Chain A
Amino acid sequence: DTAVSQTPKYLVTQMGNDKSIKCEQNLGHDTMYWYKQDSKKFLKIMFSYNNKELIINETVPNRFSPKSPDKAHLNLHINSLELGDSAVYFCASSQEGSLGSGNIQYFGAGTRLSVL
């Protein structure tokens, strides 16, 4: 069973469209995250939720809106897609949101978004 699963794996869309990426974890973790990996492979945090509550919101355009219906799911909705949004988006989860070995983050396989 996949621990952190994201769908879709690939997403190709036109500029201006709205799209969503779904993430689910079956590890029983309390905290979930979204990271963006750019074309140079640099990874940066976007959002973090702990038990459905937003705890990290980095400088991300408000076209990006995370939604956590329950602690096992964290979806990412993107409005009015732009060329610069093309990247790989990773979902991750950890047991807890504080320091210690319990905060090891396990990643999904990533969603490669291409905006044309």
Chain B
Amino acid sequence: AQKITQTQPGMFVQEKEAVTLDCTYDTSDPSYGLFWYKQPSSGEMIFLIYQGSYDQQNATEGRYSLNFQKARKSANLVISASQLGDSAMYFCAMTGAGGGNKLTFGTGTQLKVEL
């Protein structure tokens, strides 16, 4: 079974600052994928970034980077130069080899970007 833990129910960050959203995972699968999704107040789920368990380098997509520490089983999302439009709920999720590609989600972190 896979499990995702997000321990920060809410976070605040000042505009233009960087913020790290924490995510730890647990799985017995040797091969897995890690994902971050953004859900703004309008409700849609937006894919942000993907990291494969065998990828040597941390994934980056524009202002988003995934700080992957395999030994610690963590996959933190770093958002650089925060913008007001980054205010949203952020979900960490994973898939595993034995899961039929189903996404297992964490409980989410509500991020608020302030002026």
Q: Give chain A's interface residues, CB within 8 Å of chain B.
A: 31, 33, 35, 40-45, 48, 55-56, 58, 88, 90, 92, 94, 96-101, 103-110, 112
Contact = CB atoms under 8 A, between A and B. Distances in A.
A51 to B, nearest CB: 13
Which secondary structure dominates chain B's binding surface?
Answer: strand
Given A31-B101, A41-B108, A99 B32 contact: yes
Given A41-B108, A99-B32, A110 B100 contact: no
B113 interface: no
Interface of B: 31-33, 35, 37, 39, 43-47, 50, 52, 89, 91, 93, 95-97, 100-105, 107-108
A101 B43 contact: no
B107 A105 contact: no
B47 A105 contact: yes
A72 to B, nearest CB: 18
A48 B100 CA distance: 8
A56 to B, nearest CB: 5
Nearest to A56: B100
Given A48-B101, A107-B44, A110-B45, 13 more contacts: A55-B100, A56-B101, A90-B45, A96-B101, A97-B101, A99-B33, A100-B33, A101-B50, A101-B52, A103-B95, A104-B35, A105-B103, A107-B37
